[in-house]
Amino acid sequence: MRLDVVSIFPDYLAPLDLSLIGKARRDGIIDVRVHDLRDFTHDRHRTVDDTPYGGGAGMVMKPQPWSEALTHVLGSADEASGPAPILVVPGPGGQRFDQARARELAEAPWLAFACGRYEGIDERVYEWAAERMEVRVLSLGDYVLNGGEVAVLAMTEAIVRLLPGVVGNAESLVEESHEGGLLEYPIYTKPSAWTDAAGVTREVPEVLLGGNHEAIATWRHEQRLARTAARRPDLLAAAATAQGPDGLSVLDHAVATPADAGEILTLQKACRLEMVAEPQHWSGAPAETVDDVRADLASWTTHTFRSEGRLVASVRVRRDPVDPSTWQIGRLMVVPDLQGRGLERALLERAEALGPADITRYRLSTGADQQPLLRMSKKAGYRTAGPGEGPGTVDLTKRRAAPPSSR
CB of 388 to ligand JF5, least distance (A): 39
Considering only residues 97 to 126 of the shown chain, the ones binding ligand JF5 according to CB under 6 A are 116, 120
Of 40-48, 64-72, 128-136, 141-149, the segment contacting ligand JF5 by CB under 6 A is: 141-149
Q: Are 396 and 366 in contact (CB under 8 A)?
A: yes
What are the CA-CA distances from residue 304 to residues 106, 242, 315, 350 (Å)?
37, 20, 7, 11
**C-alpha count within 13 angstroms, C-beta hemisphere, residue 360:** 3
Rg (CA), the chain: 26
Partner residues linked to 374 by β-bridges: none
56 binds ligand JF5 (CB under 6 A): no
Residue closer to ligand JF5 (CB basis): 151 or 374? 151
**SS3 state of residue 62:** coil
What one-letter code names the amino acid at 16?
L
The answer to whether 92 contacts ligand JF5 (rule: CB under 6 A) is yes
Alpha carbons 313 and 263: distance in angstroms, whole number = 11
Residue with Cβ nearer ligand JF5 (89 or 311):
89
Taking alpha carbons only, the member of 116, 69, 112 closest to residue 90 is: 116
Q: Is 37 in the site for ligand JF5 (CB under 6 A)?
A: no
Residue nearest to ligand JF5 (CB): 116
Report the residue number, 117 or 303, with the smaller CB distance to ligand JF5.
Answer: 117
User: Under rule CB under 6 A, which residues in 147-186 are in contact with ligand JF5?
Assistant: 147-148, 151
User: Which is nearest to 298 in space by CA: 236, 255, 254, 343?
Assistant: 255
Q: Judged by CB, which is closer to ligand JF5: 119, or 308?
A: 119
Which residue type, as a one-letter code, is found at position 106?
A: A
Q: Please, what is the minimum distance in Å from the beta carbon of residue 308 to ligand JF5?
A: 24
- CA-based angle 303:306:311, to the nearest 5? 85
Cα 399 → chain centroid:
35
| Residue closer to ligand JF5 (CB basis): 145 or 346 | 145
By beta-carbon proximity to ligand JF5, the closer residue of 65 and 148 is 148
Q: Which is nearer to ligand JF5, 52 or 180 (CB)?
A: 52
Could you give the CA distance from residue 270 to residue 339 in angstroms, rounded to a whole number? 11
Smallest separation, CB 24 to ligand JF5 (Å)? 23
Out of 139, 268, 393, 397, name the contact with ligand JF5 by CB under 6 A. Answer: 139
Separation of first and last alpha carbons in the chain: 64
Torsion angle of C-alpha atoms 205, 209, 215, 221, degrees rounded to 10: 50
- Using the rule CB under 6 A, give the single segment among 65-73, 85-93, 185-193, 262-270 that binds ligand JF5: 85-93
**Running DSSP on this structure, what letter comes out for residue 401?**
P
- How many amino acids of this chain bind ligand JF5 (CB under 6 A)? 14
Minimum distance from CB of 41 to ligand JF5 (Å)? Answer: 19
Q: Is 144 in the site for ligand JF5 (CB under 6 A)?
A: yes
Nearer to ligand JF5, 53 or 143 (CB): 143
Interaction site with ligand JF5 (CB under 6 A): 90-92, 116, 120, 139-141, 143-145, 147-148, 151
